[in-house]
Amino acid sequence: MISDGDQLQEVLLWHQQRYPRMQIQDLVKLAYQNEFAGGHMIADAAISLQRLRAEFQAIAGNCSGEKPDEVFVGIGNGLCRLQLAAIESTGIHLTTVNQFFVNTARSRRGDLTSFEHKLEVLRACCQAGSLPHSPADLDAFLLAYRAQGYPAISHSAVYRDHYKPAYRVVDSVCRDHFALFCRIDALLESQDTVCIAIDSPSGSGKSGLSALLGQVYDCNL
């Protein structure tokens, strides 16, 4: 069984390889999201939806932007980044995406001690030379970051300029059932009521999926 530290190390190295212009700030943000998800961005679900719509509209209006290949990018700890630029052709509703985000934020609170352990994993990767950043530079960043109380941080200017990140951190279960959500949203385009029957063997997850659908769509079970 892979330990939490080993899993995070794999996530850090994978992201550094995929996004080679990641800075220390971006790696710390990745560790932060791995622990706390995106709850720092939620004050009100309606305001969250307004922000999402505005961001998605800006992406849709940028025809020159490079579209990501996949909808979800894993960040470990049962969490993913749902990439907004990749969902236009899926048919998923923004209200559904927003509920993914809101529900994840409400269920993932995180722990400061655990986060500090994850920062140690990041430092060990730098110390071993697995990441292209010196331990001294990381320590300097973390010294100032710790003094601020470990707030949520943005991506670095380098990362934003090169990769144009636009995503929401959501529970991986949303990825696992994404095709189902897309199908439901497509049906809701043409009819007021959609009835869903879930059939599978005992202990296979029917109750969990039903509860998830109830949270996302605020529907009767």
Rg (CA), the chain: 19
> What pLDDT, on the 0 to 100 scale, is given for residue 63?
59
pLDDT in tens, 70-115: 999 999 999 999 999 999 889 999 999 999 999 999 888 899 999 9
Backbone φ and ψ for 131, nearest 5 degrees, come out as -120, 145
Alpha carbons 194 and 41: distance in angstroms, whole number: 31
- Helix ranges (DSSP H) in 37-87: 45-60
Q: How far is CA 159 from the centre of its chain?
A: 16
pLDDT in tens, 15-59: 999 999 999 999 999 999 999 998 666 768 899 999 999 999 998
Helices (H) and strands (E) in the chain, counts: 10, 3
Alpha carbons 4 and 75: distance in angstroms, whole number: 12
> What pLDDT, on the 0 to 100 scale, is given for residue 64?
56
pLDDT in tens, 180-217: 999 999 999 999 899 999 998 888 889 999 999 999 99
Q: Which residues contact 50 (CB under 8 A, 6 or more apart)?
A: none
Alpha carbons 34 and 36: distance in angstroms, whole number: 6
> What pLDDT, on the 0 to 100 scale, is given for residue 38?
80
